[in-house]
Structure 1
Amino acid sequence: MGHLMGRFDADTDADRLDLVTDAIRAHRDRGSAFITLQTPADAPDEPAPWIQFDAETAVVNLDCTDDELDRLEDLLREFGGCTIHERTAPEDADGTNVRIRARVDDARVAQLIERCFREVYERPADYRLWVTEL
């Protein structure tokens, strides 16, 4: 029987790690294109930070401003098995889309995603994370 998700949001670090790991397993069982995880925006006129993951290709996908990209590069120095695979900076967009190849287990992917939200997007310790697409 496939993995069933019973909850779609969390607001503590341990619960967020469990949520992401469960979402990855459910995504893999369902064979969906990717999962999308999102937090609230800092202000109503700003985009909400999001991260996508595709278990089949082991790619984490996110958009970054220049400052966020610097923080992401610093973070990835700590994550063996996780490297920037592709960067796209469209002329009409304010930022860079980054694809990270994550050749690590699901728990480590969850740790990477959590640390991206906390350190790259500078979310507070009690931020709420939602699975918005599975």
Structure 2
Amino acid sequence: MTRFDADTPTDRRTLFAEAITAHRNRGSEFLTIEPDSLPPESTEELIPWIQFSDTTVSMDCTDGELDRLKGLLDEYPEFRTESLESPEEAEGTHARITARSDANRLAMFVDEAFQDVYGYESSYTAWVVAI
């Protein structure tokens, strides 16, 4: 990989697919993707992130985001909710999703998750921060 950020839907999905492929080829522990800023009109203080490891997508969600994630998963029948953990000391849910799919389909899911679940506009910039 020669670049680590992208800001258009096509470039982001290409970047994500390349990062997923690099992650798989390297046998690394996980891959982490983050936007460069908070989504518009966000009341949260932390930038959301999505991790991928082996066949698992992991992400933290507020209650509203979790509802939107469940709706997005309806469009990806090959993806299955593995676990939803809501520790008492945390304000939200850690979702783990089994995603046995090719790099392009995973890239599409990640891009749509940032937009549909977290509320980013189609012009957001995303970074691959760990492979």
Counting aligned pairs with the same residue, the percent is: 45
Gaps of 5+ in 2: none
Deviation readout 1:70-120 (Å, 9 max, x if unpaired) = 000011001120111111101000000000001221111111101100100
Q: Output the CA distance in 2 between the equivalents of 1:35 and 1:109.
A: 12
**How far 1:44 moved relative to its partner?**
10
Partner of 1:99: 96
Partner of 1:132: 129
Q: SS in structure 2 opposite 1:71?
A: helix
**How far 1:12 moved relative to its partner?**
0.2
Deviation readout 1:15-66 (Å, 9 max, x if unpaired) = 0000000001111121110100001224797100100001x2x000000000
**Inter-CA distance 44–8: structure 2 relative to 1 (3 Å threshold):** farther
Q: Which amino acid aligns with 2:9?
A: D
Q: Output the CA distance in 2 between the equivalents of 1:62 and 1:10.
A: 20
Q: Does 1:76 align with 2:73?
A: yes
Q: Does 1:108 align with 2:108?
A: no
Partner of 1:61: 58
- Which of 7, 14, 17 lines up with 2:10 in the alignment? 14
Return the structure number with greater relative CO, CA threshold 8 A, min gap 6. 2
Alignment coverage as a number of residue pairs? 128
Q: Output the CA distance in 1 between the equivalents of 2:86 and 2:70.
A: 16
Gaps of 5+ in 1: none
Q: SS in structure 1 opposite 2:60?
A: strand
TM-score (norm 2): 0.93
